[in-house]
A and B are shown apart, each in its own frame.
Chain A
Amino acid sequence: MAVPLTISQRLVNWARVKSPWITLYNSGGCNACTIEIIACLMPRFDVERFGVLTKGSPRHADILIVTGLVTLKQASRLRRVWEQIPEPKYVIAPGACGASGGAFRGLYHVVDRVESVIPVDVYVAGCPPRPDEIINAVVTCLNLLKEDVAHGGKEWRQNKAVETHESDKKTGEVAP
Protein backbone atom coordinates (compact mmCIF):
# COMPACT_ATOMS: atom_id res chain seq x y z
CA MET A 1 0.00 0.00 0.00
CA ALA A 2 1.79 3.13 -1.22
CA VAL A 3 1.68 6.27 0.87
CA PRO A 4 1.86 9.61 -0.99
CA LEU A 5 4.94 11.62 0.04
CA THR A 6 5.55 15.35 0.22
CA ILE A 7 8.45 16.89 -1.66
CA SER A 8 10.52 17.45 1.46
CA GLN A 9 10.03 13.83 2.50
CA ARG A 10 11.11 12.67 -0.92
CA LEU A 11 14.21 14.84 -0.70
CA VAL A 12 15.13 13.47 2.69
CA ASN A 13 14.68 9.90 1.49
CA TRP A 14 16.78 10.56 -1.59
CA ALA A 15 19.57 11.90 0.62
CA ARG A 16 19.35 8.91 2.93
CA VAL A 17 19.58 6.44 0.10
CA LYS A 18 22.38 8.23 -1.70
CA SER A 19 24.61 8.60 1.32
CA PRO A 20 24.06 6.20 4.19
CA TRP A 21 26.14 6.69 7.29
CA ILE A 22 27.26 3.59 9.04
CA THR A 23 28.35 2.85 12.54
CA LEU A 24 30.39 -0.25 13.20
CA TYR A 25 29.92 -2.04 16.46
CA ASN A 26 32.46 -4.66 17.30
CA SER A 27 30.85 -7.03 19.73
CA GLY A 28 33.67 -9.48 20.26
CA GLY A 29 34.67 -12.53 18.27
CA CYS A 30 37.68 -12.95 16.07
CA ASN A 31 37.42 -9.63 14.21
CA ALA A 32 37.93 -10.97 10.73
CA CYS A 33 34.62 -9.38 9.67
CA THR A 34 35.73 -6.03 11.06
CA ILE A 35 38.88 -6.11 8.99
CA GLU A 36 36.94 -6.96 5.87
CA ILE A 37 34.69 -4.01 6.51
CA ILE A 38 37.65 -1.70 6.96
CA ALA A 39 39.02 -3.13 3.72
CA CYS A 40 35.84 -1.81 2.08
CA LEU A 41 37.01 1.70 2.87
CA MET A 42 40.40 1.14 1.31
CA PRO A 43 41.35 2.06 -2.26
CA ARG A 44 40.63 -1.39 -3.65
CA PHE A 45 36.90 -1.39 -2.89
CA ASP A 46 36.41 2.23 -1.90
CA VAL A 47 32.85 2.68 -0.72
CA GLU A 48 33.40 6.31 0.12
CA ARG A 49 32.85 7.18 -3.53
CA PHE A 50 29.25 5.99 -3.03
CA GLY A 51 28.74 8.32 -0.14
CA VAL A 52 29.06 5.69 2.54
CA LEU A 53 30.83 7.07 5.61
CA THR A 54 31.66 5.38 8.85
CA LYS A 55 30.83 7.45 11.85
CA GLY A 56 31.92 6.81 15.41
CA SER A 57 28.79 7.94 17.14
CA PRO A 58 25.57 5.93 16.87
CA ARG A 59 23.50 9.07 16.92
CA HIS A 60 24.71 10.04 13.45
CA ALA A 61 24.12 6.73 11.75
CA ASP A 62 21.52 5.14 9.53
CA ILE A 63 22.87 1.63 9.52
CA LEU A 64 24.44 -0.35 12.35
CA ILE A 65 26.81 -3.14 11.41
CA VAL A 66 27.32 -5.60 14.24
CA THR A 67 30.46 -7.57 13.53
CA GLY A 68 31.35 -10.68 15.30
CA LEU A 69 29.91 -12.71 17.94
CA VAL A 70 27.97 -11.18 20.81
CA THR A 71 29.71 -12.14 24.04
CA LEU A 72 27.90 -11.93 27.35
CA LYS A 73 29.74 -8.77 28.24
CA GLN A 74 28.70 -6.98 25.11
CA ALA A 75 25.04 -7.96 25.04
CA SER A 76 23.69 -5.14 27.17
CA ARG A 77 26.07 -2.61 25.65
CA LEU A 78 24.98 -3.57 22.15
CA ARG A 79 21.38 -3.05 23.13
CA ARG A 80 22.18 0.39 24.49
CA VAL A 81 24.03 1.39 21.33
CA TRP A 82 21.13 0.22 19.18
CA GLU A 83 18.64 2.22 21.22
CA GLN A 84 20.64 5.39 20.64
CA ILE A 85 20.31 5.24 16.86
CA PRO A 86 17.45 7.38 15.60
CA GLU A 87 14.82 5.90 13.29
CA PRO A 88 14.87 4.84 10.49
CA LYS A 89 17.58 2.40 11.42
CA TYR A 90 18.78 -0.83 9.92
CA VAL A 91 20.99 -3.54 11.27
CA ILE A 92 23.36 -5.70 9.26
CA ALA A 93 24.91 -8.75 10.90
CA PRO A 94 27.73 -10.11 8.72
CA GLY A 95 29.20 -13.52 9.08
CA ALA A 96 28.15 -16.85 10.43
CA CYS A 97 28.59 -15.60 14.00
CA GLY A 98 25.86 -13.02 13.59
CA ALA A 99 23.39 -15.48 12.17
CA SER A 100 23.72 -18.36 14.56
CA GLY A 101 26.88 -18.12 16.60
CA GLY A 102 29.05 -19.63 13.91
CA ALA A 103 31.93 -21.74 15.12
CA PHE A 104 31.26 -20.63 18.69
CA ARG A 105 27.68 -21.71 19.02
CA GLY A 106 26.81 -22.91 22.49
CA LEU A 107 29.98 -21.80 24.27
CA TYR A 108 29.65 -20.53 27.78
CA HIS A 109 30.43 -16.87 27.31
CA VAL A 110 28.43 -16.13 24.17
CA VAL A 111 24.92 -15.16 23.20
CA ASP A 112 24.05 -17.37 20.28
CA ARG A 113 22.49 -14.98 17.81
CA VAL A 114 22.49 -11.24 17.34
CA GLU A 115 18.73 -11.54 16.85
CA SER A 116 18.26 -12.37 20.53
CA VAL A 117 19.57 -8.94 21.47
CA ILE A 118 18.45 -6.61 18.67
CA PRO A 119 16.29 -7.11 15.55
CA VAL A 120 18.36 -7.71 12.43
CA ASP A 121 17.43 -6.71 8.90
CA VAL A 122 20.15 -8.17 6.72
CA TYR A 123 22.37 -11.19 7.24
CA VAL A 124 25.47 -11.78 5.14
CA ALA A 125 26.80 -15.30 4.73
CA GLY A 126 30.49 -16.12 4.94
CA CYS A 127 33.22 -16.54 7.47
CA PRO A 128 34.21 -13.80 6.92
CA PRO A 129 32.17 -12.45 4.01
CA ARG A 130 34.16 -10.74 1.29
CA PRO A 131 34.08 -6.94 1.10
CA ASP A 132 32.06 -7.21 -2.13
CA GLU A 133 29.39 -9.15 -0.28
CA ILE A 134 29.30 -6.58 2.50
CA ILE A 135 28.81 -3.79 -0.02
CA ASN A 136 26.01 -5.86 -1.51
CA ALA A 137 24.45 -6.05 1.94
CA VAL A 138 24.53 -2.28 2.29
CA VAL A 139 22.85 -1.94 -1.09
CA THR A 140 20.17 -4.45 -0.05
CA CYS A 141 19.61 -2.39 3.06
CA LEU A 142 19.09 0.70 0.96
CA ASN A 143 16.58 -1.11 -1.22
CA LEU A 144 14.77 -2.13 1.93
CA LEU A 145 14.79 1.50 3.01
CA LYS A 146 13.18 2.53 -0.27
CA GLU A 147 10.52 -0.14 0.07
CA ASP A 148 9.80 0.77 3.66
CA VAL A 149 9.39 4.39 2.74
CA ALA A 150 6.97 3.45 -0.05
CA HIS A 151 4.94 1.39 2.43
CA GLY A 152 5.06 3.97 5.18
CA GLY A 153 7.27 2.26 7.74
CA LYS A 154 8.60 -1.11 8.75
CA GLU A 155 5.36 -2.67 9.94
CA TRP A 156 4.44 -4.02 6.53
CA ARG A 157 7.33 -6.47 6.72
CA GLN A 158 6.23 -7.85 10.06
CA ASN A 159 2.59 -8.01 8.98
CA LYS A 160 3.60 -9.84 5.83
CA ALA A 161 5.47 -12.44 7.90
CA VAL A 162 2.44 -12.93 10.12
CA GLU A 163 0.08 -13.23 7.14
CA THR A 164 2.25 -15.92 5.57
CA HIS A 165 2.14 -17.93 8.77
CA GLU A 166 -1.63 -17.55 9.03
CA SER A 167 -2.27 -18.71 5.47
CA ASP A 168 0.03 -21.69 5.98
CA LYS A 169 -1.92 -22.75 9.01
CA LYS A 170 -5.23 -22.53 7.13
CA THR A 171 -4.24 -24.69 4.19
CA GLY A 172 -2.12 -26.96 6.29
CA GLU A 173 0.74 -26.73 3.83
CA VAL A 174 4.27 -25.88 4.77
CA ALA A 175 6.05 -23.35 2.58
CA PRO A 176 8.97 -24.95 0.68
Chain B
Amino acid sequence: MSTPLTLDFVTETMKLYGTVEQARSNRIRIATMPDRVRDAIKASHELLGCDRLLTISTADKGKTFELIYHLTGPHHIIISLAIELPRDKPETQTTSDILPPAGIYERQIHDLFGIVFLGHPDLKKIILNEDWPENEYPLRKDWMPGPETFYGGLMRERK
Protein backbone atom coordinates (compact mmCIF):
# COMPACT_ATOMS: atom_id res chain seq x y z
CA MET B 1 0.00 0.00 0.00
CA SER B 2 2.01 2.91 -1.16
CA THR B 3 -0.76 5.45 -1.63
CA PRO B 4 -1.39 7.67 1.36
CA LEU B 5 -4.36 6.62 3.47
CA THR B 6 -7.21 9.06 3.56
CA LEU B 7 -9.20 9.92 6.62
CA ASP B 8 -12.38 8.53 5.04
CA PHE B 9 -10.83 5.16 4.32
CA VAL B 10 -9.52 4.87 7.85
CA THR B 11 -12.82 6.00 9.34
CA GLU B 12 -14.68 3.43 7.28
CA THR B 13 -12.42 0.56 8.25
CA MET B 14 -11.87 1.35 11.89
CA LYS B 15 -15.18 2.79 12.92
CA LEU B 16 -16.23 -0.23 14.91
CA TYR B 17 -13.17 0.15 17.13
CA GLY B 18 -13.62 3.74 18.14
CA THR B 19 -13.77 7.35 17.06
CA VAL B 20 -11.39 8.49 14.34
CA GLU B 21 -9.99 11.98 13.93
CA GLN B 22 -7.19 13.65 12.02
CA ALA B 23 -4.62 14.81 14.53
CA ARG B 24 -1.97 16.20 12.16
CA SER B 25 -1.43 16.15 8.44
CA ASN B 26 0.17 12.73 8.59
CA ARG B 27 -1.26 11.33 11.80
CA ILE B 28 -4.70 9.85 12.43
CA ARG B 29 -5.84 9.24 15.98
CA ILE B 30 -8.32 6.55 16.97
CA ALA B 31 -9.68 6.51 20.50
CA THR B 32 -10.59 2.96 21.41
CA MET B 33 -11.26 0.74 24.45
CA PRO B 34 -8.71 -1.47 26.24
CA ASP B 35 -10.54 -4.67 25.40
CA ARG B 36 -10.64 -3.86 21.69
CA VAL B 37 -7.12 -2.59 21.19
CA ARG B 38 -5.66 -5.95 20.20
CA ASP B 39 -8.26 -6.40 17.47
CA ALA B 40 -7.68 -2.82 16.35
CA ILE B 41 -3.96 -3.52 15.99
CA LYS B 42 -4.64 -6.67 14.00
CA ALA B 43 -7.06 -4.74 11.79
CA SER B 44 -4.49 -2.04 11.15
CA HIS B 45 -1.99 -4.72 10.12
CA GLU B 46 -4.34 -6.40 7.70
CA LEU B 47 -6.57 -3.65 6.40
CA LEU B 48 -4.48 -0.51 6.68
CA GLY B 49 -1.08 -2.01 5.92
CA CYS B 50 0.76 -0.89 9.05
CA ASP B 51 3.77 -3.09 9.65
CA ARG B 52 5.79 -1.53 12.43
CA LEU B 53 5.26 -0.26 15.93
CA LEU B 54 6.91 3.09 16.59
CA THR B 55 6.44 3.33 20.33
CA ILE B 56 3.92 3.04 23.14
CA SER B 57 3.58 6.43 24.82
CA THR B 58 2.00 6.96 28.18
CA ALA B 59 0.62 9.93 30.03
CA ASP B 60 -0.89 10.44 33.43
CA LYS B 61 -4.14 12.34 33.05
CA GLY B 62 -5.16 12.53 36.67
CA LYS B 63 -8.02 10.09 36.93
CA THR B 64 -6.81 7.83 34.13
CA PHE B 65 -3.65 6.68 32.45
CA GLU B 66 -3.55 7.01 28.71
CA LEU B 67 -1.67 4.53 26.54
CA ILE B 68 -1.12 5.28 22.88
CA TYR B 69 0.17 2.75 20.36
CA HIS B 70 1.75 4.43 17.36
CA LEU B 71 1.87 2.31 14.21
CA THR B 72 3.11 3.12 10.76
CA GLY B 73 3.78 1.46 7.45
CA PRO B 74 4.96 2.04 3.90
CA HIS B 75 2.20 4.60 3.43
CA HIS B 76 4.02 6.95 5.84
CA ILE B 77 0.89 7.77 7.82
CA ILE B 78 0.97 7.25 11.58
CA ILE B 79 -2.03 5.57 13.16
CA SER B 80 -2.29 6.28 16.88
CA LEU B 81 -4.54 3.97 18.89
CA ALA B 82 -5.33 5.54 22.24
CA ILE B 83 -6.82 3.80 25.27
CA GLU B 84 -7.49 4.97 28.80
CA LEU B 85 -7.09 2.92 31.93
CA PRO B 86 -8.61 3.74 35.33
CA ARG B 87 -6.09 4.86 37.92
CA ASP B 88 -7.07 2.47 40.66
CA LYS B 89 -6.84 -0.61 38.45
CA PRO B 90 -4.40 0.01 35.58
CA GLU B 91 -4.38 -3.32 33.77
CA THR B 92 -4.54 -4.27 30.16
CA GLN B 93 -3.73 -7.15 27.88
CA THR B 94 -0.21 -7.39 26.56
CA THR B 95 0.44 -6.90 22.87
CA SER B 96 3.93 -8.35 22.83
CA ASP B 97 2.79 -11.48 21.01
CA ILE B 98 1.43 -9.59 18.03
CA LEU B 99 4.01 -6.80 18.17
CA PRO B 100 7.40 -8.15 19.34
CA PRO B 101 9.02 -4.76 20.10
CA ALA B 102 6.24 -4.03 22.57
CA GLY B 103 7.82 -6.43 25.07
CA ILE B 104 10.51 -3.97 26.07
CA TYR B 105 8.27 -0.91 26.03
CA GLU B 106 5.75 -2.61 28.29
CA ARG B 107 8.41 -3.54 30.83
CA GLN B 108 9.57 0.05 30.96
CA ILE B 109 6.05 1.39 31.34
CA HIS B 110 5.35 -1.08 34.12
CA ASP B 111 8.42 0.12 36.02
CA LEU B 112 7.67 3.79 35.69
CA PHE B 113 3.87 3.92 35.86
CA GLY B 114 2.77 0.67 37.43
CA ILE B 115 0.53 -0.42 34.58
CA VAL B 116 0.21 -4.19 34.57
CA PHE B 117 0.27 -5.99 31.24
CA LEU B 118 -1.53 -9.30 31.65
CA GLY B 119 0.04 -12.14 29.76
CA HIS B 120 3.47 -10.56 29.39
CA PRO B 121 6.09 -13.34 29.58
CA ASP B 122 8.55 -11.50 31.79
CA LEU B 123 7.47 -8.30 33.52
CA LYS B 124 10.64 -7.79 35.56
CA LYS B 125 12.39 -4.58 36.49
CA ILE B 126 14.26 -3.14 33.58
CA ILE B 127 14.95 0.48 34.24
CA LEU B 128 14.91 1.07 37.96
CA ASN B 129 17.45 -0.03 40.54
CA GLU B 130 16.97 -3.50 42.00
CA ASP B 131 16.58 -2.03 45.49
CA TRP B 132 13.89 0.38 44.40
CA PRO B 133 10.93 -0.08 46.75
CA GLU B 134 7.79 -1.75 45.45
CA ASN B 135 4.76 0.31 44.51
CA GLU B 136 6.73 3.48 43.98
CA TYR B 137 6.11 4.56 40.41
CA PRO B 138 8.19 7.66 39.73
CA LEU B 139 6.49 9.01 36.66
CA ARG B 140 3.04 9.29 38.18
CA LYS B 141 2.06 12.87 38.76
CA ASP B 142 1.50 12.45 42.47
CA TRP B 143 4.84 10.79 43.20
CA MET B 144 7.52 12.81 45.01
CA PRO B 145 10.79 11.42 46.33
CA GLY B 146 10.50 11.02 50.07
CA PRO B 147 13.15 9.98 52.58
CA GLU B 148 12.41 6.28 52.01
CA THR B 149 12.83 6.49 48.25
CA PHE B 150 15.74 8.90 48.16
CA TYR B 151 18.89 7.16 49.24
CA GLY B 152 22.37 6.38 48.13
CA GLY B 153 25.89 7.45 48.92
CA LEU B 154 27.84 7.58 52.11
CA MET B 155 26.76 10.95 53.39
CA ARG B 156 23.18 9.96 53.56
CA GLU B 157 24.01 6.63 55.15
CA ARG B 158 25.94 8.46 57.85
CA LYS B 159 22.91 10.53 58.69
A/B contact in complex, CB under 8 angstroms: yes
Which A positions have Cβ atoms within 8 angstroms of B? 70-73, 75, 79, 108-113, 116-117
Interface residues on B, range: 10 to 19
A-B contact count (CB 8 A): 33
Q: Which listed residue (A70, A109, A110) contacts B128, Cβ 8 A?
A: A109
Say yes or no: A75 contacts B138, CB within 8 Å: no
13 pairs, A vs B, C-beta closer than 8 Å: A71-B129, A72-B129, A72-B151, A75-B152, A79-B154, A108-B138, A109-B129, A109-B138, A111-B153, A116-B152, A116-B153, A116-B155, A116-B156
Within 8 A of A (CB), among B138-159: 138, 145, 149-156
A108 neighbours in B (Cβ, 8 Å):
138, 145, 149-150
B155 neighbours in A (Cβ, 8 Å):
116
Q: Which listed residue (B128, B145, B149, B154) contacts A117, Cβ 8 A?
A: B154
**In whole Å, how far is A114's beta carbon from the nearest beta carbon of chain B?**
9
**In whole Å, how far is B157's beta carbon from the nearest beta carbon of chain A?**
9
A116-B145 in contact given A108-B138, A109-B129 (Cβ < 8 Å):
no
**In whole Å, how far is B150's beta carbon from the nearest beta carbon of chain A?**
7
**In whole Å, how far is A66's beta carbon from the nearest beta carbon of chain B?**
13
A112 neighbours in B (Cβ, 8 Å):
153
Say yes or no: A73 contacts B129, CB within 8 Å: yes
A75 neighbours in B (Cβ, 8 Å):
152-153
A70 neighbours in B (Cβ, 8 Å):
152-153
A71 neighbours in B (Cβ, 8 Å):
129
CA distance A110 to B149 in the complex (A): 11
Other than A72-B131, A73-B130, A112-B153, give 13 A-B pairs with Cβ distance below 8 A.
Answer: A70-B152, A72-B132, A72-B152, A75-B152, A75-B153, A108-B138, A108-B145, A109-B129, A109-B138, A116-B152, A116-B153, A117-B152, A117-B153
